[in-house]
């Protein structure tokens, strides 16, 4: 049976929005703050053990940030994969500070990035929300994230970081995901594909049997 994962979204309210003017009159738009926290029960009732979070952040730094492909989206995505059409920013750093992980992201000149810049120019309050996959252990009234945790992005930009979690849980966390040939797919899709592959193999076996039977009749 495939190992089933859930999609987690963890909003943070106190990210700092920065607009820096350059000598040529242009501006740099950035978001900086605590992107993730370890060993504390968050308002979703989940706890990320420090060793698990540190290990995954180290991998994320190596495989994404250092490769200039640590992207985030505007809004609440409905899956673990980053959609390049909705990318608004690139995470440029994610470093440990005690049990916090301090991140910084630069807003990009993408269609979604331009929307974020306009919102920042107008003084809009925005927050960030990390997105990851994993499974949970229940203990002491909290849900502890297990060592199968996978960090999809350190920060999506959201307009409602303090909003109720019903939307996220209903749309995102209500789905189950599995690894399939190196990619995350919805569990029911993977199950359908598995059934299709079995049926396909049976059909191929039946065709081979019929062909062999025809061959025997020709002898």
Percent of the chain at pLDDT exceeding 70:
71
Active-site hit among 9, 88, 89, 129 = 129
Residue 3 bears catalytic tag: no
pTM, full prediction: 0.75
Most confident of 8-17, 18-27, 60-69, 159-168: 60-69
CA distance 107 to 112: 9
Residue 129 bears catalytic tag: yes
Q: What is the pLDDT of residues 72-115, one digit of tens each?
A: 999 878 788 899 999 999 999 999 999 999 999 999 999 999 99
pLDDT at position 211 over 50: yes
Higher per-residue pLDDT: 214 or 154: 154
Active-site hit among 76, 89, 130, 143 = 76
């Amino acid at each position: 049976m495939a190992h089933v994962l859930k999609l987690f979204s963890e909003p943070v309210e106190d990210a700092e929005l920065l607009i820096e003017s350059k000598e040529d009159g242009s501006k740099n738009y950035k978001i900086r703050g605590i992107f993730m926290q370890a060993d504390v029960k968050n308002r979703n009732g989940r706890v990320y053990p420090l060793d698990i979070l540190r290990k995954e952040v180290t991998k994320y730094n190596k495989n994404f940030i250092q490769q200039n492909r640590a992207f985030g989206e505007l809004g609440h995505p409905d899956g673990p994969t980053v959609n390049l059409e909705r990318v608004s920013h690139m995470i440029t750093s994610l470093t440990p500070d005690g049990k916090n992980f301090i991140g910084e992201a630069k807003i990009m000149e993408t269609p979604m990035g331009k929307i974020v810049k306009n919102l920042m120019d107008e003084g809009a309050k925005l927050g960030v929300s990390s997105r990851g996959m994993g499974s949970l252990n229940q203990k002491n009234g909290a849900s502890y994230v297990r060592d199968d945790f996978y960090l999809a992005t350190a920060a999506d930009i959201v307009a409602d970081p303090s909003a109720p979690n019903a939307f996220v849980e209903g749309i995102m966390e209500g789905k189950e995901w599995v690894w399939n040939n190196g990619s995350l797919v919805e569990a029911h899709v993977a199950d359908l594909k598995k059934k299709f592959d079995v049926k396909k193999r049976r059909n191929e076996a039946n065709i081979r049997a019929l062909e062999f039977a025809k061959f025997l009749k020709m002898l």
